[in-house]
Structure 1
Amino acid sequence: MFAINHRTKLGLIRIKDIYYASALQPPSPVIDVIYYYHCEIPGPGSKPFHTLLIDVSQEPEALLASFRKSTRNAIRRAMENPCISLEVKALSSLQQSGGEKLEAFVSAYDQFASQKGIQPCNQELLHLLADEERLALATARLADEILCQFLLVETDRKIVAYYGYNTRFSVEEDIEKVSLIGKMNRALDYQCMLYTRDKGKAHYDFCGLTLDPENPEAGNVDHYKLGFGGEIATEYHFMQPVTLKGRLFCRLKALQGGIG
């Protein structure tokens, strides 16, 4: 659990954001509303969020053996390719050594998001997380070419694959390369699981499952993730009013569609 981004809305509503809490936090008189994101228990007007957790306590080979056969084989092929390199490092260490910057990831991800028709990065949140040194960058390269990257968020008990992109939309005509990117993507997820284990965390979190049978494209993403096994979990987003002002604000937000 971590709390960030103390701010005001409408010039007078004092708000605090809390991520990945396992329980509701004690109210504070200096806060009007607490926004909970990815909370393990529901609250008032909760919006459920399904995700997939991978238990990384097993030895690396046992973890690999627990995956779907096609997932396992794809990972092994990528890891056996001498032209492929996989790296997972704290973002702060990369920046200190002149490596990849957060801005470069955001630019590449937002281009991918535009092609895929999904939301761009929440840059304000990422900069706050970077200031707290909660970010790590996972990169898969073919020779010197970056083909996949994930931005990871560290919590007290798990590592979350918060954002990720690959370059398949840029090479759609090259069937072999698209296939290779798929293998590299899986191998990079596995490498992130080993990183999570080395950091002493219990779970690697894929940060989302749609479980929507009416959405075939999202279903393909779910199928990819479920190839790693794991446990489906439900988290909740909601607003917890603390003061009278906070209760009035939450009622207004509920009329507008809820948390946001």
Structure 2
Amino acid sequence: MIRIKRKFVFLNVFEYWFNYKGGFWGSFGLNAYNHIRKELKNPFLIKVPNYTVELDLTKSKEQILEDFSRTVKSQVRNSEKDGVHCYFDQDVRKFVGFFNEFAPSKGIPPETVERILGYGDSLKISYAELDGQILAAHTYVYDQEQKIVRQMHSASKRFDEQFDKNKIGRANKYLHYRDMLAFKDQGITAYDFGGYQETHSDKVIESLLNFKLDFGAVKKTSSNYYTISYFLLRKLSLMLGIIKKG
């Protein structure tokens, strides 16, 4: 089970991924249970639907590529011809530096080394690189027991005018493909692209949804469950602007 400890002011809050902890404190502490795929029958937990996009990695490697849209398939092959190198590297500072160069152009909050380190051994970081220059990077929450990975971050050089946007776009898709194959080899059966709605909103981002579906993935619905105390703290944070909407 993945357990992540966060600090909120002077309080410790806990996030659990893909599985429910159970027990007295599991229902009444400051706990969140993210991306739970089975229905929980617990009257003390507040259920919030989680709409995501998932790819089945039990398919053969050949079928995974075949199910990509024609455009994505072509871009993946062209990026391979470009000589893009994909690899995993657990250097958190390296990732945070790259991500925080990207974040302002995308209009999203920067990350911190401390927050990323909080994922512990469940964190996986991948890169697409060409001629020694990082073009794109992904992070995942990785659960070998539940056989699932869920993408957390995606960053690239697509807003940098020094780079060819088309080449960056191809590299990012190629990185997804190489990540899928690597995780499949490790016994992972579900590749979760993450959600397709604005943060803390039910507004669908159509371009994001279509990007994910073009890999042959399908829409899925799981649930996030919050203890009442966590839910109220989260709601207060939204009201005070500590957590930003969409």
Specify the TM-score bucket, using the shorter chain as the normaliser: 0.7 to 0.9
Structure 1 pair 110–29 and aligned structure 2 pair: CA distance change class (3 A): closer
Structure number with greater Rg is 1
> Following the alignment from structure 2 to structure 1, what is the Cα–Cα distance between the partners of residues 203 and 234?
29
Which stretches in structure 1 are left out of the alignment for 5+ residues?
92-100
Shift, 1:166, TM fit: 0.6
Tell me if structure 1 keeps the 8 A contact 2:92–2:113: no
Tell me if structure 1 keeps the 8 A contact 2:33–2:226: yes
Structure 1 pair 238–256 and aligned structure 2 pair: CA distance change class (3 A): farther
Tell me if structure 1 keeps the 8 A contact 2:89–2:127: no
Structure 1 pair 117–72 and aligned structure 2 pair: CA distance change class (3 A): same
Shift, 1:10, TM fit: 7.2
The count of aligned residue pairs is 233
Shift, 1:15, TM fit: 4.0
Q: Deviations over 1:231-260 (max 9, x none)?
A: 21223334214xxxx5xx755655665997
> Following the alignment from structure 2 to structure 1, what is the Cα–Cα distance between the partners of residues 48 and 16?
15
Choose from 148, 159, 183 the match for 2:149. 159
Cross-structure match for 2:85: 85
Cross-structure match for 2:122: 134
Tell me if structure 2 keeps the 8 A contact 1:90–1:135: no
> Following the alignment from structure 1 to structure 2, what is the Cα–Cα distance between the partners of residues 229 and 30?
37
Structure 1 pair 129–253 and aligned structure 2 pair: CA distance change class (3 A): closer
Q: Which amino acid aligns with 1:153?
A: V
Q: Which amino acid aligns with 1:25?
A: G
Q: Deviations over 1:188-212 (max 9, x none)?
A: 1000100110110111111221289
* SS across alignment from 1:153: strand
Query: Aligned pair 1:39/2:36, yes or no?
Result: yes
* SS across alignment from 1:200: coil
| Alignment map for 1:112-127 (pairs within 5 Å) | 112-121=102-111, 123-127=113-117
Structure 1 pair 36–188 and aligned structure 2 pair: CA distance change class (3 A): same
TM-score (norm 1): 0.76
Q: Deviations over 1:121-169 (max 9, x none)?
A: 3644421223xx2222211112111111112221132122211111010
Tell me if structure 1 keeps the 8 A contact 2:27–2:227: no
> Following the alignment from structure 1 to structure 2, what is the Cα–Cα distance between the partners of residues 119 and 235?
25
Cross-structure match for 1:205: 192
> Following the alignment from structure 2 to structure 1, what is the Cα–Cα distance between the partners of residues 134 and 60?
28
Q: Which amino acid aligns with 1:200?
A: G
Which stretches in structure 2 are left out of the alignment for 5+ residues?
none
Choose from 211, 214, 218 the match for 1:224. 211
Shift, 1:80, TM fit: 2.2
Cross-structure match for 2:131: 143
Q: CA RMSD in A?
A: 3.2
Shift, 1:29, TM fit: 8.3
Query: Aligned pair 1:104/2:94, yes or no?
Result: yes
Query: Percent same amino acid at aligned positions?
Result: 21
Cross-structure match for 1:62: 63
Structure 1 pair 178–28 and aligned structure 2 pair: CA distance change class (3 A): same
Cross-structure match for 2:223: 236
Cross-structure match for 1:98: none
TM-score (norm 2): 0.80
> Following the alignment from structure 2 to structure 1, what is the Cα–Cα distance between the partners of residues 30 and 134?
41
